[in-house]
Structure 1
């Protein structure tokens, strides 16, 4: 079940991190999203701060037609792109959590109603991707 959280959409999976990541990538692709960026937070913090943490990745997902529409409506909205999708281990519960930013945040932050249609479609696509996991 996909739940709405403070910043986005959330789904908890009872599979390991690698399997979850593969499913997330396939589900996003099915909804027209490509991955522009991938940040391995666990490795980065280990290298920079020598701290240990559970596996945690931030994926920068982009649906090019939707990004184009959003940028046509407001050039500065690029500060809020791409749509971040987070995958992390919840070691205590033995689960993997997947979260995606709620694109409606763009509308709230920018206060630009022209972004409404783009955000609604992006949210629907992200919800479908998470629901497919």
Structure 2
């Protein structure tokens, strides 16, 4: 797509090994199908979407800049968030959990990235929070697996 300011694209190895998120790239679904599959996978593990921002539309409107499709989704599980805040009341600055779905190659390659709660929540040093973070990380890995079940990962 011409006249777009591309976001910097790390090579795939770097993208896959980013320390603060879990990422996987897919090539057999459209952007919209990947979003739909991600939404379904979130629902299946009990997370609710509480915010969504289409960054590509926001930049176009505010800055007159075009980028490939880039959607930021904030998710939460009420029971878990309540328990975390009862344990450590300032942990809310690390909530909700964020997911990015981005078109990294003009509709031919879509990347899904989810926050690694073990890294972000690990900042608290609280053992209860750390255990919950590990559980969330495993659940988030399952989201990538569910999206992949309908897709081919590169």
TM-score (structure 1 length as normaliser):
0.92
Aligned counterpart, 2:110: 96
Once residues 80 and 107 of structure 1 are traced to their aligned partners in structure 2, the CA distance between those partners, rounded to angstroms, is 7
Aligned counterpart, 1:80: 94
Instruction: Point out the structure with max Rg over C-alpha.
Output: 2
Deviation digits for residues 51-87 of structure 1, max 9, x if unmatched? 0000000000111221112111111100000110100
8 A Cα contact 2:122 2:133, kept in partner: no
Aligned counterpart, 1:107: 121
Confirm or deny that 1:53 pairs with 2:67: yes
The structure in which a higher percent of residues are strand is 1
Once residues 39 and 27 of structure 1 are traced to their aligned partners in structure 2, the CA distance between those partners, rounded to angstroms, is 19
Once residues 19 and 134 of structure 2 are traced to their aligned partners in structure 1, the CA distance between those partners, rounded to angstroms, is 17
Task: Choose from 115, 125, 130 the match for 1:116.
Answer: 130
Aligned counterpart, 1:38: 52
Residue segments in structure 1 that go unaligned for 5+ positions in a row: none
Once residues 35 and 4 of structure 1 are traced to their aligned partners in structure 2, the CA distance between those partners, rounded to angstroms, is 26
8 A Cα contact 1:69 1:118, kept in partner: no
When the two chains are superposed, the root-mean-square deviation of aligned CA atoms in Å is 1.5
SS of equivalent residue, structure 2 residue 66:
coil
Confirm or deny that 1:19 pairs with 2:33: yes
Aligned counterpart, 1:126: 140
Residue segments in structure 2 that go unaligned for 5+ positions in a row: 1-15, 148-154
TM-score (structure 2 length as normaliser):
0.80
| Corresponding residue pairs, total | 131
Aligned counterpart, 2:152: none
